Amino acid sequence: MANSKYEYVKGFEQNDTLLPQTWIVIRVDGRAFTRFSQVHGFEKPNDMQALLLMNECAKAVLEDISDVVFCYGVSDEYSFVLRRTCTLYQRRASKLISLVVSLFSASYAMKWTQFFPETELQYAATFDGRAVCYPSESILRDYLSWRQVDCHINNQYNTCFWKLVGSGMSTAEAQNTLKGTTADVKNNLLFEKFNINYNNIPPIFRKGSIVYRKQMDEVVKVEKGEVIKRLRAHIVVEHEDIIHDGFWTAHSYILAVGSKNKQQQALPRPAKPQLPSSLP
Ligand code: GTP
Ligand code: MG
């Protein structure tokens, strides 16, 4: 396209290229979900359908963006890990964040009735987003551990809090009862007062959700009694411990460099429309 006298305005655009060779994490977080969850009657402290809807939105992001290798979600937030070799949009933060946020938000609205057939969506759920680069696998794992520890601490507190309120305490009384208590004290309270073993609470509430492409053996054919298998990746949603080494050792391919395979290719996109050359 020919240069125009207006071309100089491009000089006002700031460079927001994310550091090369680092893990990019894009975290989306529901905007004012305290209100959104009240308006739509979410169960307290955890609404299973709301969490399952979040997981479906994360799957939609993972399906669409081949550079996303791992997702972790809790409450109204989801973190998306992009491989360190990602060159999508030349790693421009604004483009990557807006892509993930819009995909996630649009999916939330599109899939709402699937999870809340009886509840009309009163207004669009919106999400903010941020991108942070982590220079090493170990710091990336610390980031994910931080989110999962947060999930655990909040869930334990909220479970106690709403049980106390449900048993007749005011919210202020429940807050006072729990102020400064350790995890052990909260576990004992749940067990002794409400006969709840914290470890029996569904793992999706205690651990949050992970979404990734799981490599699984798949039988291709049986030839002369011999079973021929090949590795195929399937998108799965699980509720595993991602703080300790076990998960990462068993699934080392997730963060391995150059692990891109056929199943991880995004669907081909239509070519970018060309602007008519008559425009300035
Ligand atoms: P901003 O993110 O700053 O816009 O505020 P926010 O209101 O979304 O609060 P924040 O992200 O810190 O916390 C999420 C809030 O969403 C929680 O405090 C809850 O009020 C609500 N929430 C998320 N998941 C659930 C759920 O499963 N059940 C219920 N009842 N509420 C939920
Ligand atoms: Mg929020």
- How many percent of the chain have pLDDT more than 90? 85
- pTM, full prediction: 0.90
Predicted local confidence at residue 1, as pLDDT: 59
Q: How far, in Å, is the centroid of ligand 1 from the Cα of 75?
A: 7
Q: Strand order in 209-223's β-sheet?
A: 127-134, 23-30, 77-82, 68-74, 209-223, 226-238
β-strand partners of 132: 25
Residue from 75, 127, 130, 157 to probe ligand 1 pocket by mutation (most atoms less than 8 Å from CB): 75
Q: Supply the CATH number for residue 88's domain.
A: 3.30.70.3000
| Residue 169 domain-assigned (yes or no) | no
Looking at the CA of residue 38, tell me the nearest atom of ligand 1: 30
Q: Residue 270: its pLDDT value, please? A: 45
**pLDDT at res. 258:** 62
In a domain, 26, yes or no: yes
Could you tell me the distance, in angstroms and rounded to a whole number, from the CA of residue 76 to the centre of ligand 2?
A: 6
**What is the number of domains present in the chain?**
1
Question: Could you report the per-residue pLDDT of 40-85, keeping only the tens digit for each?
Answer: 999 999 999 999 999 999 999 999 999 999 999 999 999 999 999 9
Domain that holds residue 121: 18-136+205-209
Q: With respect to residue 39, please indicate whether it lies within any of the assigned structural domains.
A: yes
- Say if 147 falls within a structural domain: no
Whole-number Å distance, alpha carbon 241 to ligand 2 midpoint, is 23
Any domain includes 93: yes
Q: Residue for token digits 């011999």?
A: 226
**pLDDT tier for residue 168 given thresholds of 50, 70 and 90:** very high
Each residue's pLDDT tens digit, 177-228: 999 999 999 999 999 999 999 999 999 999 999 999 999 998 888 988 899 9
- Residue 11 domain-assigned (yes or no): no
Looking up tokens 């680069």 gives 133
Rounded Cα gap, residues 71 and 236, in angstroms: 11
Band the pLDDT of 257: cuts 50, 70, 90.
confident
> Tens digit of pLDDT for each residue in 10-43?
999 999 999 999 999 999 999 999 999 999 999 9
Q: Decide if pLDDT at 272 tops 80.
A: no
User: Are residues 142 and 242 in contact, defined by beta-carbon separation less than 8 angstroms?
Assistant: no
Q: What is the pLDDT of residue 277?
A: 41
In ligand 1, which atom is closest to the CA atom of 33?
8
Q: What is the rounded CA–CA span in Å between residue 108 and residue 123?
A: 11
In a domain, 255, yes or no: no
Q: Is the predicted pLDDT of residue 280 greater than 70, yes or no?
A: no
Question: Which of 27, 29, 34, 55 should be mutated for ligand 1, with most atoms under 8 A from CB?
Answer: 34
Calculate mean pLDDT across residues 108-128.
Answer: 98
Q: Ligand 2 centroid vs 146 CA: distance in angstroms?
A: 17
Residue 76 included in any domain: yes
